[in-house]
Structure formats: C-alpha cells, structure tokens
Structure 1
Amino acid sequence: MADHDLSRLKIDRSAAAAGVRIRPRRRWLRYAVIALVLLALVGIGVRLAGPQAVQTATVTSAYPTQNFTLLNATGYVVPQRKAAVASKAQGRLEWLGVLEGSRVKKDEIIARLESKDVAASFAQAQAQIQVAQASLALQQAELKDAEVNLRRSKILIVPNAISRTEYDAAAARFDKARASVNSSRASIASAQANARVAEVAVEQTVVRAPFDGVVLIKHANVGDNITPFSAAADTKGAIVTIADMETLEVEADVAESNIAKIRAGQPCELLLDALPGLRMAGQVSRIVPTVDRSKATVLVKVRFVDRDARVLPDMSAKIAFLSHAASAKDRQPVVAVQPAAVVTRDGGRQLAYVVRDGRAHEVQVMTGDKLGELVAVQGVKPGDVLVLSPGDKLSDGDRITVAKP
C-alpha cells in the first residue's frame, strides 16, 4: 500500500517536457487572434466614425471670352431715336388708333383731334378763293370792254369825232379795269394762302408717326384735352411715346480711370439680365466726350451687332469689352469648376469627388483651358457639387458633411 502511494508521487518528466513545448505555440496563437480582433475593431471604428467635413464647389458654365475680356461694365438698353408724339394743335382727342406695343410706319395716322372748327375755317377759305376768282372774271370782262372802248376812242379822236374829254375817260376806264384785274388776282392769291393756312390747321389735328417704330407709352385717351404748349390742369401734352427699335443700344458709365481700355469700334459681348442664355455681339459706337464730375465716369454707347426682337428699352445689361472679336466657338459655354476641385492620383489620373446623398463619389475627369479663376473640365455637368481640395484620406463612397465657411 505504501509502495503504491509513493509511486503516485513520482514526477512524470515526459509530460512536463511536452507541456513546455506546447505552451509557447498557444501563446502566439492567442496573440494573433487578439491582433486580428484589434484590426477588425479599428476597421469597424473607421467605418462607424463620423463623416469627414469638407468644403464644396459647384460646377458651372463659363465662356472662353473671359480670357480676353479687358473690362466689364453695366448699363441699360436705350433707343437712339425716341419721340414723344403730340399735335401742334390744341383740342380734344377724338380718335386714337394705337396701343402700347403697336408697330407704326412713318407718316401713318395714329390719332386725330376734333377738327370741326378748323375744318369750317378751311371751307370758308376755299369759298373766299371762289369769290375772288368770280370777281376776277368780272374784272376781266370789264377790262375787255374798256379795252375795246379805248381802241375805238383812239380811232375817233383823230378826226375830232369825239372830244378829248371822252377819250381821256375811255383811257381812265381801261386803266381802272386793268388795276381791278390785278387786285382780283392778288385777292385770289391771298385767299389761296388763307386756305393753305386753314388746311395746315386741319392737318395739325391729325397726328402721324414721325418714323417707323413701336409705341412704348400711351399718355392720353380719347376725350382728353391735348395742349402741347401749356400745362393747363387736366390736360395732356404728348399722346404717345414712340421708339425706333432698330436704333437700340446699350449705354454704360465707365470710370474715367478705365476709359483708356475702350476705343470706338471695339468688339464687345452683351448679356441681358432678362435673357440670361443669350450672349450677343456688340461694338462700341461712340464715347461721349465729357466726364460726369459727380461720378467721375464717361458715358459709352455700344450698338448691337446681333439683334433680337426680345430686347426692349430700359433692360439692364452687362458689357464685356474684349481685346479682339469673339469667334462662334468662343461664344459657346463650356463646363468649368475651381481648379482645387480636381486632384491627380494613381499615376496621373485626374479625379473629382461628386457629392451625392451625403457621400463622395469618385469621378474621373479631364481638365482643359483656364477660364479666368476657373478651369474647363469634362466628366461632370453644370450643377454638380464637388469636394473642394479633397485630401488623400478621402476615398470613393466616404461619408462627408459640408463644413461651414
């Protein structure tokens, strides 16, 4: 029994050696598992981390003319030929044949004033002509009779068949008849002049268009009293305002410090606020040779080379004064963005990151010419929002948030 117990207390050397050899392997395996778990936790932490804060820039459209624009200015469209049309006569407006926007031709009748009084005067003047003409006919007949009587008296005075007194009376009668004829002719001329005056007065009650144009403003209505040369109460001076739309141009005030950059005949590009998609060619028509002291500006007038029926007076316009004329290609828009939105990675590939649904999506792009502070780019479209200055840590699909400037 004692021997049996003592044998149980004997140390097994082989088992101890085996244990020593097995324990280091388990330790390294345990370390590897821990490292893998830590890496997984780091990856999950990165994925679960908050979105990166970035700044963004919007893709826009730009024009190549920006590269050779010397100066920009703002102004307004004005007609070179414009008139407030009124009648020289005074009276009540009887008929108006135009409205705002009506197109009229030169000498076309657009309005009439009441003309019964001047028409009556004209009729009276014409009657006076007829009276003078009838008087002339009577005096001519009297002259003819006096001439015959004088001729007879000249024959009879030689043989003393009539007295000298009778001969002198015949001669005086002839002279008087001839003077009466001349007086009647002068009366006819006077009556005709009076008739022309009355006719002009009648014509002045008819208002005609002074040139081809469009009615901009209607100042009076039928029934209004027109008094162009006074300011009486409840009266109108002008009836309508007409502008020649073929003479539209843009006027702009240019600072006198920049006037050296502008010359007559210089090519321009015109952009109207009312027609943002339309860029029209223009040319400097003239520079008004005076300076506005209060504003230190010079008035520059630019005519339209390209015309559009939608251009109206008083529209606001932007003028780009160019160093040379723009070609048709230069006037076509191109896609552009800030250069900082494009990065070069992976062996020279140009990339941009489009912001959609709170994530950055990698897009391959190709840059072109510089357009002022922008650069032409292909691969994105106007309106896309790109990450500005994306860092090396930004990858495709990363969550982002737009940082406040």
Structure 2
Amino acid sequence: MRQLFLAGAFAALGTGILIIADQHQRANSRPAALPEKAETVIAQSSVHAAGRIEGTTENVLIRPQFPGRIESVFVARGSRVEKGQVLFQLETRRYEAQRDLASATLSAARAKRMRLVAGARDSEIEAAKQEMIAAQARYDSSKTRFERASKLFSRNALSSQGLEDYRADHDANLALLQAAHQRYETIKADPRLADLMAADAEIASAQAQLDMAEIDLQRCSVVSPCPAVVLAVEINPGEWISPEMPDAALELSNTERLRVVADVDERDALTVTLGQTCEVTADALPGQHFSGVVVEIEPRMEPKKIYGGWAGERNETHTRRVWIDLRTDVTLPVGLPVEVMIH
C-alpha cells in the first residue's frame, strides 16, 4: 500500500515537471515584441563654402576709345566715383578744331539753301533784264543788216562771202539774245524741288559731321559707367595711351550692390538653388553676420579656385560657383575672404 502511494506521488511530480518545462519552452519560443516604429526625422542641413566679396559685376576695365595723350587724371586708387564722373581727360585741341570746321561747313550749307529759297536780289534781276534788252538791240541791228545784204546780193551788188558774214553775225546775235532771255527767266524763277532736296542733303551731311565731331570731343573725357571704387590707376598725365595697349588705364569695381561669389563643393553642388538664404561671416569682422540670397548659379563645374583654409577642407575637387546678393549697408572691401552658410 505504501509503495502504491509513493508511485502515485512520483507520477504526479513528474507530470508537474513536464507541464512546467512545456510552459517554459513555449515562453522562450515566442517572438520578441517589435518596438514601435520611430518617426523619421529630417534635419535641415547647410552648405559650407568659401567665397569673397565683389561688386555687382566683374571688375570694369577702363580704356579710351581712341589713342591720345593724357592731359589730366582726376581719380586715385581707392577713391569712390559716381556714374558719369570724369576719370581722366585726353588732349582736345585736334577734336575742337574738327568741331569748329564741321560747324562752319554746316553754316555754309544753311546759307546756301537760304539764298536758294530767297532767290536773286532785285539788282541781279534788273541786270539780267538789261542784258536781255541789249542782246535784243544787237539782234535787231544784225537782222536789219542781214536783210539789206540779202537784197544787195539778189542784185549782184554783194559777194557771197559778204552775205555769209552778215548771216553769221545775225545768227550769233540771235543765240546771244536767247541766252540772255533764258538767264533772265532763270534768275527770277522759284527754286526747283531737286535743288532744295540737294541743299537739304548737304545740310544733313554737315550736321552729321558736326555731331560726330562733338562725340569725339566728348569722348576725350573718359567717365565712369557706374558708381564704383577705383581699384587701380595705371596712367599719368603726359603719357600716350591707346585702346590696343595690354593694360587698362583704370580698373573699377561696380559698387551699386555688393555680392559674394562662392565655390560650392561637388558633393553639395546639386543642393543649391536660386532664392536660398545665406549667412556670411568674415574673419576680419568677428561676431558680425550678414544675410544674403542666392541669385545666380553657374551651369558648369570647374576646378576649385576659392579656398577657405579651414580644417578638413577639400582642395583637389571640382566646385560650382554661385553668386549671392549681400544685404548690408556695411562698406566691405572688394576681394575680402568670407565664409558662406547656404541654408
């Protein structure tokens, strides 16, 4: 009886152990609960680039439009000039003489047309009339003599040679009479349209010559095409200068609006777009920040030309050049190195 009790107890204990082991195995075989899906976080990045300050456009190289000797230079390196301000002056005596000659030619052409419109003076008309009367008298006299000679010739009282002499005198006086009559009619007639047109063309030609002479005289004064800072002056009074000379007379920087030109690394070249805002800093102005906007992007890649000099900067790479309009009233020198953060 005792043996049966112990056997039943061991059987119950084994069954319990098996149940516990089976539950432990099932618990271990269950897949682990997956964590909740994390939200995707997109961080806005900035593009770091090296740049420099420049004017509204590339530097402006100033040369005269024709050769000449420099008379005066009115600016110095570093001075600021306004649009239309005279930078330097060439000698003007030759061009002043050309202007005076053209002006005199124009006055003569206008006077010629005025005489054409006004016609001849009364005294000239009267003189032509008297010449016609005198020619008429000479013709009447020669006509009478020729008629008398013809009668004498018919009665054999005059030779053939004598008759021909009277005939020639008659014909010559007739031609002189006709010429005097035509001259009288011409001198008192109104001007013809063709003559007026020719006079007007002569006046227009003289006016054009005067305009060109005045333009050449004005070009002796070389002026600034825009508000600018003078970067270099390579001329002196008394020197001869020509447009074909390799070095420009002056170099200007357009200061209507300051810009930053920056080289964006090839890894970031496609992330820059027009209208992006920028933050510009310079080592020369610690603690100051200037804002700007990307206004132009070069459509091609080129070897890097502008270097920032910071740690880890890539040098042997290609870059894409961008231009940034700078929003500041601070006067910054052209060529100042800056750092650009394009957001």
| Map 1:267-346 → 2, pairs under 5 A | 267-292=277-302, 295-309=317-331, 311-322=332-343
Find out whether 1:242 has 2:219 as its counterpart: no
Moved more, 238-247 or 289-298: 289-298
- Which digits, 9 at most, give the CA deviation of each residue in 1:91-140, with x for residues without a partner? 01101111122222211222110011111111111111222223233333
| Map 1:134-283 → 2, pairs under 5 A | 134-142=111-119, 172-173=186-187, 174=189, 179-228=194-243, 230-231=244-245, 238-283=248-293
3-state SS of the aligned residue for 2:248? coil
Task: Determine what percentage of the aligned residue pairs are the same residue.
Answer: 27
Name the CA distance, whole Å, in 2 between partners of 1:138 and 1:305. 66
Structure richer in strand, relative to its length: 1
Structure 2 contact 49–265 (Cα < 8 Å) conserved: no
Q: Calculate the aligned-residue CA RMSD, in Å.
A: 3.1
Find out whether 1:113 has 2:123 as its counterpart: no
Tell me the equivalent position of 1:125: 102
Of residues 47, 53, 62, the one that matches 1:71 is 47
Amino acid at match of 2:201: A
The CA deviation at 1:191 is: 1.4
Gaps of 5+ in 1: 1-66, 153-162, 323-405
Name the CA distance, whole Å, in 2 between partners of 1:169 and 1:245. 72
- Which digits, 9 at most, give the CA deviation of each residue in 1:144-190, with x for residues without a partner? 879x99xx9xxxxxxxxxx9887755555537766544433332222
| Map 1:8-27 → 2, pairs under 5 A | none
Name the CA distance, whole Å, in 1 between partners of 2:287 and 2:239. 43
| Map 1:334-373 → 2, pairs under 5 A | none
Amino acid at match of 1:90: P
User: Which structure's relative contact order is higher, taking Cα pairs within 8 Å and 6+ residues apart?
Assistant: 2
Name the CA distance, whole Å, in 1 between partners of 2:202 and 2:122. 22
Number of residue pairs matched by the alignment: 238
Of residues 56, 59, 73, the one that matches 1:80 is 56
The CA deviation at 1:194 is: 0.9
The CA deviation at 1:141 is: 3.3
Name the CA distance, whole Å, in 2 between partners of 1:301 and 1:246. 15
Name the CA distance, whole Å, in 2 between partners of 1:260 and 1:208. 42
Name the CA distance, whole Å, in 2 between partners of 1:144 and 1:215. 64
- Which digits, 9 at most, give the CA deviation of each residue in 1:43-64, with x for residues without a partner? xxxxxxxxxxxxxxxxxxxxxx
Amino acid at match of 2:260: V
TM-score w.r.t. structure 1 length?
0.52
Gaps of 5+ in 2: 1-42, 130-176, 305-316
Name the CA distance, whole Å, in 1 between partners of 2:209 and 2:275. 53
Name the CA distance, whole Å, in 2 between partners of 1:100 and 1:246. 18
Name the CA distance, whole Å, in 2 between partners of 1:261 and 1:141. 79
Name the CA distance, whole Å, in 2 between partners of 1:171 and 1:141. 15
Structure 2 contact 82–226 (Cα < 8 Å) conserved: yes
Structure 2 contact 55–253 (Cα < 8 Å) conserved: yes
3-state SS of the aligned residue for 1:214? strand
The CA deviation at 1:308 is: 1.2
Moved more, 175-184 or 95-104: 175-184
Name the CA distance, whole Å, in 2 between partners of 1:258 and 1:97. 47
Tell me the equivalent position of 1:398: none
Q: 1:165 to 1:212 in 2, by over 3 A?
A: same
Structure 1 contact 142–177 (Cα < 8 Å) conserved: no
Amino acid at match of 1:193: A
